[in-house]
Structure 1
Amino acid sequence: MQKNQVVKKLLAVTAVAAMFSAFGVQAQTTSGQSAQSMTNQSATGNPNLTGKTAADGTVNNTSSQGMEDRSGQTGASGSSGTSGASGTAGTTHSEGAKSHTGSDGAQASGASGAAGATAAGGAAQLSAADKKVINDMAMSNMAEIEISKLALSKSQNPDVKTYAQQMIDDHSKAQAEVQALAQSKGVTLPTELDAKHKAMSAKLEKLSGDAFDKAYMKQAGVADHKATHSKLVAGSKKAKDPDVKALATKMTPTVEQHLKAAQQMSGNTGKTSGTASGK
């Protein structure tokens, strides 16, 4: 009996130990499953256990993505802005180039206009008396050149021919200076002889021999040079423009020399002696 009771107690203890053992295994299993489940849920972002984290992560990711998007937009905007700035700068540069070209064109045009204005201004500022001095010098030179060419073709007197050639040479040089002055002052010079010199040329054309020589030396040599000398002396004194005054003064001694030579030759036109230069 006593042995049976001991056996029963041992069996009861064993049963209890088995129960506790089974419970411990089950608890361990459950704990392991729970831990594994939590791990899996954490890995898979199960909203039951890590919903907030996942949500936060989503928010953070969204926020991060949003920042990335905004950053991209900002970058795009910046790029666009830069591109726009470049475009604007390019446009500005292009416009600047156009403005510069227009400015060059305007300056070039302005320079031409200024030159024209200077010439026109010179003409406007030049007095009528000064313009007349220039025109008188031009007409005197033109007449001496044209009539002396006639003398070269018609005269048989060597001295007359020599004098005529000197008139052509000297008055051609003087005429070039008058033309340059007239251009700088905007003055239009006569292009043909006036009525007085046309009549003189027509009269000489009809003459020949000694008659021609005497008429040429008297009219073109003496009379014309006297008139020209008087005009030059007056012009050099009364001209207001310094350039006009200077040219009239410069031409006076040459015309005076022509006059003296003509006066000396006028009494010797029928002879072959004498000097055309008057020296």
Structure 2
Amino acid sequence: MQQRKHINRMLGIAALAMLFGGSSVYAQSTGTTSAQGSGSSSAQAGSGSSSASAAAKGSNGSVSKADQRMMKNLAEANFAEIETGKLALQKSQNDQVKAYAQKMIDDHTQAQKELEQLAQQKGVTLPTETDMKHKAAAKALSALEGEKFDKMYMNQVGVRDHKNTHQLLTKAQKDAKDPDLKALAAKMTPTVDGHLTMAQEHTGKKGGSSSGSSGSSGSDKSGGSSASGSGSSSGSK
């Protein structure tokens, strides 16, 4: 009788142990599954957030090829103006010409700084010097002396190139896809037109800033930097 009671007691203890043991295993299993599910959801959410952020970042600063060309043309024209301005300070004996040349250096240096700031924001790499046509024109200009130099400088750099640059800036305001480039072109235009007016007054060649020239920069490729046969097409201000 006592042996039977002892057996029943042992069976009861074993049953309780199994009951509590199963609950513990179930709780641990449930906790693990929940943690894994939560972690997976968080990871997926984080991944989605990162992808959205990357996409947004990638869309910022994207500039069309045509807009990049316009920016590069303006940079080349700025460098050409600065280079020929320094040349005029060295070679000219005319105070008016020298004063004009200094203004070209000052204004185009400032214009280039603003253009470089915009390019940096947009991820656009600008040239660090003018193009070959400008270099060739500057070389031809450097071979002249006295009044011949002054006349060539004011006609080519002062008048013709500023007409070309005016056309480039007008095109940028009309056709550029990037609103910041449009705004910069609009800001530069009055300064370019002012330079043109000064040159026209000096040379006696009156005329609107939008009038064409033999070196008109109508194409995107040459832009404001092309002045066929002319010295340098001055850039933006």
CA distances 1:159-204 after superposition (whole Å, capped 9, x unpaired): 4333223222222333344445556666654444233211111122
Q: Does 1:258 align with 2:195?
A: yes
Cα drift, residue 257 of structure 1 = 0.5
User: Any residues of structure 2 matched to 1:226-265 within 5 Å, and which?
Assistant: 226-236=163-173, 238-239=174-175, 241=177, 243=179, 244-265=181-202
One-letter identity of the residue aligned with 1:241:
K
In structure 2, the CA distance between the partners of 1:135 and 1:56, relative to structure 1 (3 Å rule), is: same
Secondary structure of the 1:78 match is helix
In structure 2, the CA distance between the partners of 1:153 and 1:114, relative to structure 1 (3 Å rule), is: farther
Higher helix share: 1
Q: Does 1:116 align with 2:58?
A: yes
One-letter identity of the residue aligned with 1:81:
Y
Cα drift, residue 135 of structure 1 = 4.1
Q: Does 1:58 align with 2:6?
A: yes
Q: Does 1:143 align with 2:94?
A: no
The residue aligned with 2:22 is 77
The residue aligned with 1:169 is 106
Secondary structure of the 2:107 match is helix
Distance 1:242 1:90 in 2: 48
Q: Is the 8 A contact 1:232 1:248 kept in 2?
A: yes
Which segments of 5 or more consecutive residues in structure 1 lack a partner in the other structure? 1-50, 268-279
Q: TM-score scaled by structure 1?
A: 0.57
Distance 1:221 1:173 in 2: 18
How many residues align structurally? 203
The residue aligned with 2:232 is none
Q: Is the 8 A contact 2:75 2:130 kept in 1?
A: no
- Tell which deviates more after alignment, 215-224 or 185-194: 185-194
CA distances 1:60-87 after superposition (whole Å, capped 9, x unpaired): 42xxx33322322332232233333344
In structure 2, the CA distance between the partners of 1:138 and 1:99, relative to structure 1 (3 Å rule), is: same
RMSD in angstroms over aligned alpha carbons?
Answer: 3.5
Which segments of 5 or more consecutive residues in structure 2 lack a partner in the other structure? 205-237
CA distances 1:218-277 after superposition (whole Å, capped 9, x unpaired): 2211221122123333543x426362444333322111100111223347xxxxxxxxxx
The residue aligned with 1:207 is 144
In structure 2, the CA distance between the partners of 1:83 and 1:222, relative to structure 1 (3 Å rule), is: same
Cα drift, residue 205 of structure 1 = 2.7
Q: Is the 8 A contact 2:92 2:150 kept in 1?
A: yes
Q: TM-score scaled by structure 2?
A: 0.65
Name the larger-Rg structure. 1
Q: Which one has more relative contact order, counting CA pairs under 8 Å at least 6 apart? A: 2
Distance 2:201 2:104 in 1: 15
Distance 1:113 1:196 in 2: 40
Distance 1:85 1:208 in 2: 93
One-letter identity of the residue aligned with 1:173:
Q
User: Any residues of structure 2 matched to 1:153-168 within 5 Å, and which?
Assistant: 153-168=90-105
In structure 2, the CA distance between the partners of 1:231 and 1:117, relative to structure 1 (3 Å rule), is: closer
CA distances 1:78-121 after superposition (whole Å, capped 9, x unpaired): 22333333444444455556556x62xx644653443234444x
